[in-house]
């Protein structure tokens, strides 16, 4: 893979693959031109020249084999064993259809990645946002403004509103934070992948316009917040992301650091979510998140 985005150093995560890419075999066929005959006396009858037979195409090799998965799983386990805390990753390539997950049982606080969930719930509730709602959405996603998030959390009906929206998007492991504590919402990496799928799939309950709007905001996060899964991007890729970071009192001040997003390029279209907890600092968590992102995208490319 080409040079990654800004901060790439790695974090570990292991992976379980989803489906193999469908195999397509071209059918060989031959065709011949009908003989053209001239009836004039003394004129030779031309002989029909058959067209060359098309050679059947070889069966494509699956993009990511069981051996590849085993090697990646081992590499991720080995890396994570050297890191503090815990991490989980879920990634899907929309081009090839491969999906990989690691440590699916991990649940962490969302911190600010829940702002994408809040935005999706808002767009489900209000298909046509007011100017005031749009202004809050811009601040919430592009600048990660907490006051804007609180205002929109109330707009969607707080926890019950988020839960209702998540049911429509097919989430299974996300529990809304109590009261006004939206950052304490708990989630899994695969549920975050489901949110990203709702932002990209034609089968989503979100309209095409809503999906474009959300991804557009995520592609404009301010530079200081453009770390995370962007480490898995190549030069020329388009990245839409949202990060979350939070020192948790309940964990003795240890940091939860998460990153979710889409990496779209000529040869891939990745949806990726990496969640982690138990870091002594935010920087340590970022390093882990970025290493994991780079490992899995390199392996799928």
- Mean pLDDT score across all residues of the chain: 84
Tally of CA atoms within 13 A in the half-sphere of 222 that contains its CB: 9
Query: Which pair of tokens denotes residue 233?
Result: 């991007």
Residue with tokens 């020329």: 236
How high is the pLDDT of residue 19?
36
Label residue 206 exposed, middle or buried (CB < 10 Å: 0-12, 13-18, 19+).
buried
Tell which residue, 194, 167, 163, 175, has the closest CA to residue 273: 194
SS3 141: helix
What's the rounded Cα separation, in Å, for the pair 170 and 179? 23
CATH no. of 63-300: 3.40.710.10
> Per residue in 64-98, pLDDT tens?
788 888 888 888 999 999 999 999 999 999 998 89
Average pLDDT over residues 131-145: 98
Q: Does residue 278 carry a pLDDT above 50?
A: yes
Q: Where are the beta strands (DSSP E) in 192-290?
A: 238-248, 254-264, 269-279
What's the rounded Cα separation, in Å, for the pair 22 and 30? 26
- Residues 255 and 245 sit within 8 Å (Cβ to Cβ): yes
Label residue 297 exposed, middle or buried (CB < 10 Å: 0-12, 13-18, 19+).
buried
- The lowest-confidence range among 49-63, 145-159, 161-175 is 49-63
Average pLDDT over residues 182-196: 98
pTM of the model: 0.80
Q: Does residue 288 carry a pLDDT above 80?
A: yes
- What is each CA distance from 21 to 97, 99, 148, in whole angstroms? 6, 11, 42
């Amino acid at each position: 893979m080409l040079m990654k985005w800004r901060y790439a150093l790695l974090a570990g995560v292991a992976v379980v693959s989803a489906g193999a890419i469908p195999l397509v075999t071209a059918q060989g066929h031959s065709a011949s031109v009908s003989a053209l005959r001239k009836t004039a006396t003394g004129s030779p009858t031309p002989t029909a020249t058959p067209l060359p037979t098309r050679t059947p195409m070889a069966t494509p090799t699956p993009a990511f084999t069981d051996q590849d998965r085993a090697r990646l799983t081992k590499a991720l386990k080995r890396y994570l064993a050297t890191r503090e805390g815990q991490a989980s990753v879920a990634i899907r390539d929309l081009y090839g259809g491969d999906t990989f997950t690691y440590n699916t049982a991990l649940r962490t606080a969302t911190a600010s990645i829940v702002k994408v969930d809040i935005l999706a719930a808002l767009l489900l509730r209000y298909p046509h946002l007011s100017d005031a709602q749009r202004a809050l959405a811009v601040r919430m996603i592009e600048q990660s403004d907490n006051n804007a998030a609180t205002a929109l959390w109330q707009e969607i009906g707080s926890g019950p509103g988020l839960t209702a929206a998540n049911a429509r998007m097919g989430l299974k492991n996300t529990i809304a934070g109590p009261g006004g504590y939206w950052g304490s919402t708990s989630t899994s990496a695969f549920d975050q992948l489901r949110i990203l799928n709702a932002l990209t799939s034609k089968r989503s309950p979100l309209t095409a316009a809503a999906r474009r709007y959300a991804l557009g905001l995520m592609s404009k996060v301010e530079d200081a917040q453009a770390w995370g899964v962007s480490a898995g991007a190549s030069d020329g890729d388009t990245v839409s992301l949202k990060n979350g970071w939070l020192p948790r009192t309940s964990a003795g001040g240890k940091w939860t650091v998460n990153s979710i997003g889409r990496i779209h390029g000529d040869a891939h279209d990745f949806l990726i979510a990496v969640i982690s907890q138990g870091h002594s600092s935010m920087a340590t968590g970022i390093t882990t998140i970025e290493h994991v992102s780079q490992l899995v995208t390199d392996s799928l490319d």
